[in-house]
Amino acid sequence: MTPSVGLVVPAYRPDVDRLAAYLEAVRETVGPAEIRIEVDAASPAIREELTALPATVNAVPYRRGKGAAITDGFEALETDVLAFADADGSTPAASLARVIAPVQEGTVDLAVGSRRHPDASVATHQTRVRRLMGDVFAAVARRLLEVPLYDYQCGAKAITAEGWERVREHLYEPGFAWDVELVAMAGALELSVGEVPIEWEDRPGSTVSPVGDALRLGRALLRSRHRAKQLRDDRLHSAIAARRPEPTALVDEE
């Protein structure tokens, strides 16, 4: 029997018409057993529009952040494979299917979509500043983390339910840094990670701040490296952690 797939779509100020078209393509191409839209700070009108879509909608009146939203969605799924894709549809349904496939087939525990892989196809590029900052971040992350990838931040990833059970209690980043933390923790726990080149098209209207979020991502990368080292019983990082207050994992937050 083919492993079942659950898809989480984190959303903040979504274009509902675009999201509806994307979900239709995903249903036809991927055929997920369940789709959950985790929407933050949505107006009553947006919530009403979303309820008409063929998905379970969990709307909260505040902004949790991308990572916290995906975590909540993954915790609610009961499928064999847990996947997420950004609500803007930057990763086409066919590419999302390619990301999910190696996890369904049991080839890897975690599959990471990649816009920067040499075999990826980018239809529309980000602005020069965002592209440069993304390239620099990826290069630094490759040097600091045990999992060498071309792209850590692409909004399309899939993980086995068993893999999620292992990493879930080690995730703390509520925002955009959640992606890199997920990869770092998977590597530290010796889960197999595969990078899948995708077709990708940049969408206007990103909520990412090039400067502010770059600084936050940099700090989060260092935290992720520290936690990964701690999981591997590195003496220095274990000693540092012992002197700091224990943070609260996302799955333990109320």
pLDDT in tens, 224-234: 999 999 998 88
Q: Average pLDDT in the 171-185 region?
A: 96
Q: Is the pLDDT of residue 41 over 60?
A: yes
Helix 178-188 to helix 212-231 angle, to the nearest 10 degrees?
A: 20
Give the pLDDT score at 216: 85
| CATH class as words, domain 5-252 | alpha beta
Whole-structure pTM value: 0.92
The enclosing H or E element of 16 equals helix 16-29
Weakest mean pLDDT among 51-65, 180-194, 209-223: 209-223
Instruction: Say if residue 73's pLDDT is above 80.
Output: yes
Nearest to 19 by CA among 87, 84, 75: 87
Is the pLDDT at 55 greater than 70? The verdict is yes
Band (pLDDT 50/70/90 cuts) for residue 182 is: very high
CA distance 73 to 67: 10
Mean pLDDT of 103-123: 94
pLDDT, position 56: 96
pLDDT of 5 strictly over 70: yes
- Which pLDDT band, with edges at 50, 70 and 90, does 68 fall under? very high
Residue pLDDT, tens place only, 196-253 = 999 988 766 555 555 557 788 889 999 999 999 999 888 888 888 888 888 899 999 8
Percent of the chain's residues with pLDDT above 70: 93
CB 149 within 8 A of CB 142: yes
